[in-house]
Amino acid sequence: MTPKIMRRLWSVVETAHTKTLLQLDDASLVQWLIKQTNTQEFLEQNETDYLSDYIQSRLTLIRELAYERQC
């Protein structure tokens, strides 16, 4: 995954509505984040697969950041 895609993902996380990040189940959140990232940066299949794995490994962090923003 390129640094550009990683920055795009974290930009999506930071600008997303907190409610969205906290209410979606894990699989739906992964798919939603991929879709949002893909609309801003075209991803090839191997990049999408890698991004999916990356998001899965960071779900706790993503939800913690969203929860902190909510408070």
Provide the mean pLDDT of the chain: 94
Q: Are 10 and 37 in contact (CB under 8 A)?
A: no
Query: Can you give the pLDDT at residue 24?
Result: 97
Query: Is residue 6 over pLDDT 90?
Result: yes
CA distance 43 to 22: 25
The whole-number average pLDDT for the span 58-71 is: 95
Using a cut of 0.85, tell me whether the model's pTM lies above it. yes
CA distance 46 to 62: 22
Query: Can you give the pLDDT at residue 62?
Result: 98
Give CA angle at 65 (25, 16), nearest 5°: 65
Query: Can you give the pLDDT at residue 42?
Result: 85
